[in-house]
Structures are given as structure tokens and as C-alpha cells.
A = this chain, B = another copy of it.
Amino acid sequence: MQKTRNVEQDIIDAARKVFQMNGFKEATMRDIANEANINLAMLHYYFRSKDNLFYMIFDEAFGLLYEKIAHILSDDKLDIFEKIRIIVSEYITFFNINPHIPLFIVREVIRNPEKIGERMKVSINPIPTFKTFSDQIQEQYEKGVIRQISAFSLILNIISLCVFPALAKSVVNQLSGLTEIEMEAISENRKKEVADFIINSIRI
């Protein structure tokens, strides 16, 4: 018995691949149609416009990124060091699997800041604040466990150290001549190394 094909899902999968790889402008509806094994007219029949399709993919990507960190930061059962280790590990794994997402997000925000900015805020609204994390930092600082640092700076540093290497992977690849396997090993090592780097930096 032939498995029933889900055309809509095929299209979404194809669009995710093509948009994340190429960005809005360089992605074409023709590429997406080919990738989904349908023709151009069908693609427009299911999703009326390129914009419609694009925003579905964008919202999904940004939501994934955001939920991952928000969920951990607002968990009041984890201490500050555990949070750092978990975020670093999960982000590095995530960017290994989805290497194009960070550039995809940044690129589209620059292309269309107002519209994309609005959409990001919609994804964020229902999520609890980072107050838990901020309080924890203040508390540990007062106890003399860590150096003074703002939650904003610490989060920015954590994200920088996780995201940038994934983002610049293609550049490092070209310049270093490392093989795929060597890069993989480095990336796996970095989970511990980066967490240690951050924790060494704040712990007194």
C-alpha cells in the first residue's frame, strides 16, 4: 500500500532547507518547488505567496532558539553554573545540527528590521522573564561566589561563544583546511571547554 504523501509538509520541509541556506532574497520559489518535488503553480496554490512561506519558517527558527534559552534561564531549580553548562551544551549541539539558523536570523533582521522585529516580539511575549537568572547572579555576587557581572553581559557572552563559531564555521573551514571529522571533534570538545571558560571567568 502506497504511503499517502503530505504535500504541505513536503513544502514546509523544502522551504526550511532553501530559506535557511540562502536567505529570503536568494531563495526562489522554483528552488523550493523542485526540492518539494512539485511544480511552481502548486506551490502557490498551497501557500499563496513567498512571504507567507517565509514567515512560517522564520517564526519556527526563532521560536526554537528562544525557547531553548528562556526555558533554562527561568528554571529556579538549577544553580547558575548548571545553567551555564546546560545552555552551552544544548546550543552547541543545536547549532551543529542546524548550522544555518544563526546567520538566517541575523540576516533577515538586517534586511527588514521593523517587520522582523515585530515577529520576534510576538514569539517572546508569552515567555517568563529572565528575572530568575538575574536574581541568581546578584545573590551569588553578594555571597562572594562570583565576580560582578550584569545578566545582560553574561548572557551575551554565553551566546557569543556558542553561536559565533557555528556561524563562522564555513570561514574557519576554508582557512584552516580541517576535515569535517576534525571540526566535529573540536565542536564536541568545546562543550566542556566553553562552559569552563565562562565559569572560570566569573567564579572568584
Contact = CB atoms under 8 A, between A and B. Distances in A.
Contact of A201 (B121, B153, B163, B200): B200
A124 to B, nearest CB: 7
A109 B153 contact: no
Interface in A113-132: 113, 116-117, 120-121, 124
| Oligomer copy total | 2
A146 B76 CA distance: 34
Interface in A154-192: 156-157, 159-161, 163-165, 167-168, 170-175, 186, 190
A170 B110 contact: yes
Interface in A8-60: 21-23, 25-26
A141 to B, nearest CB: 14
Nearest to A198: B201
Contacts of A164: 156, 159-160, 163-164, 167
A103 B107 contact: yes
A120 B174 contact: yes
A134 to B, nearest CB: 14
B106 A175 contact: no
Contacts of A68: none
State the 8 A-B residue pairs at the shortest beta-carbon distance, nearest first.
A117-B174, A201-B201, A160-B164, A164-B164, A200-B201, A160-B160, A109-B170, A25-B26
Given A197-B201, A200-B200, 9 more contacts: A25-B25, A103-B106, A110-B170, A113-B170, A113-B173, A153-B193, A156-B164, A157-B194, A159-B164
27 contacts: A23-B107, A25-B26, A103-B106, A103-B107, A106-B171, A109-B170, A109-B174, A113-B173, A113-B174, A120-B174, A121-B174, A124-B175, A149-B193, A153-B190, A153-B193, A156-B165, A156-B172, A157-B161, A160-B160, A160-B161, A163-B164, A164-B164, A167-B167, A197-B201, A198-B201, A200-B200, A200-B201
